[in-house]
Amino acid sequence: MPLVPLRLVLDHAAENNYGVGAFNVNNMEQIQAIMEAAKETDSPVIVQASRGARSYSQDNYLRHLMLAASELYPEIPVVMHQDHGNSPTTCFSAIKYGFSSVMMDGSLMDDAKTPSSFDYNVGVTREVVQVAHSMGVSVEGEIGCLGQVGHAPVAPKPGTSKPHDADLEKEPGDTDGHDLSLEKEPGDTDGHAPTSSTGGMDSSHLTDPDEAEQFVAATKVDALAVAIGTSHGAYKFKHKPTGEVLKMTLIEEIHRRLPNTHLVMHGSSSVPEDLQEIIRKYGGKMEETYGVPVSEIQRGIKHGVRKINVDTDCRMAITGAIRKVFAENPKAFDPRDYMKPARDAMRQVVIARMTAFGQAGNASKMRAAGLVR
């Protein structure tokens, strides 16, 4: 089956009240892990690549790996999504390489770190929507600013709609796909060292429901990323998040106003304790940290969240598995000795998320409904 647009999958998810995990990839094994998980759970899937991932793997490799996935798993509807496109140019090059969905993140300027104005965001996003829709490609926009712990909020610059952290050298983000530069690999969340004292974000970073409404009306995006207190990377919260730092009520408010817009939660890894433990047990260093509980994501899914970005959990599964092999078998040097367990560990995480988000069992329903061939 050819790659399908994001809109098709999220419309089905909305009609049937489920969410769809969007998993980041950089290489073949990650794509294989996701596709095997999708097959086992009968799930439609969203595979996404950040700018850094595209740079790391090269577009041609990525394109053909995804074509291979759609050939090998013809029964699975697959979306290939550009995560955090920083400019229309980036989105258009993704479309050229066969992506069926793009995110135009106009909440920042094209350097992916300078806060933009609302008008700028509307302008670039609308430009991408016009081109993408004419080619059957879906568009995700972002309004509000995803945060990171440990950075004190700064006052908004005059003329900017959003008070982003000005000192986000390294990115708001990163792990779930933002990258500040093509050299610096996404995932460089190291910028967000576990030095947080805030355990959350200042509310001034959160999505304003009024702006969200205006933005959707002006741009006609298919999906909207909202900032509700999550951040990218492993170090999201110092303590188990409460409603004070993770504003699920804001999701509910935005959904009330935009019942027909698919909401996207970024930075939604759960950073499970058992994966942290495996990494520590086999020599890794991870400070105590908390992610977004799956139960909170499920609450979001009841209120319009349809796409849930997960990257860190998959990275942790891979790293833990590789560390374990090296610790237990120092003689191993065949990459398959550690890449197979790594791939399997990621597959298990993806299966768990697909099941929890409710997308499991829906690939065949989409086919039965005639939505995909």
Which residues are known to be catalytic? 83
Other C-beta atoms lying within 10 Å of the C-beta of residue 276: 20
Stretch that binds Zn ion, among 43-51, 169-177, 274-282, 338-346 (CB under 5 A): 169-177
Residue 310 DSSP one-character state: E
Tokens 């769809």 — which residue? 20
Nearest-5° Cα angle at 311, 344 to 80? 90
Residue with smaller CB distance to Zn ion, 177 or 320: 177
Please, what is the minimum distance in Å from the beta carbon of residue 232 to Zn ion?
A: 6
Stretch that binds Zn ion, among 23-31, 173-181, 193-201, 315-323 (CB under 5 A): 173-181
Residue with smaller CB distance to Zn ion, 29 or 83: 83
Residue with smaller CB distance to Zn ion, 144 or 150: 144
Residue nearest Zn ion, CB atom distance: 266
Could you give the CA distance from residue 68 to residue 247 in angstroms, rounded to a whole number?
Answer: 40
Tokens 């205006």 — which residue? 214
Please, what is the minimum distance in Å from the beta carbon of residue 73 to Zn ion?
A: 26
170 binds Zn ion (CB under 5 A): no
Q: How many residues bind Zn ion (CB under 5 A)?
A: 3
Residue with smaller CB distance to Zn ion, 266 or 343: 266
Other C-beta atoms lying within 10 Å of the C-beta of residue 220: 14
CB 292 within 8 A of CB 243: no
Could you give the CA distance from residue 371 to residue 373 in angstroms, rounded to a whole number?
Answer: 7
Please, what is the minimum distance in Å from the beta carbon of residue 176 to Zn ion?
A: 4
188 binds Zn ion (CB under 5 A): no
Please, what is the minimum distance in Å from the beta carbon of residue 308 to Zn ion?
A: 11
Number of alpha carbons in the 13 Å side-chain half-sphere of residue 237: 21
Q: Judged by CB under 5 A, which of 36, 42, 140, 176 binds Zn ion?
A: 176
Please, what is the minimum distance in Å from the beta carbon of residue 84 to Zn ion?
A: 6
CB 6 within 8 A of CB 307: yes
- Token code pair at residue 121: 């965001």
Stretch that binds Zn ion, among 18-26, 35-43, 154-162, 266-274 (CB under 5 A): 266-274
266 binds Zn ion (CB under 5 A): yes
Residue with smaller CB distance to Zn ion, 266 or 353: 266
Helices (H) and strands (E) in the chain, counts: 13, 8
- Token code pair at residue 194: 């576990």
Residue 84 DSSP one-character state: E
> Can you give the binding site for Zn ion, defined by CB under 5 A?
176-177, 266
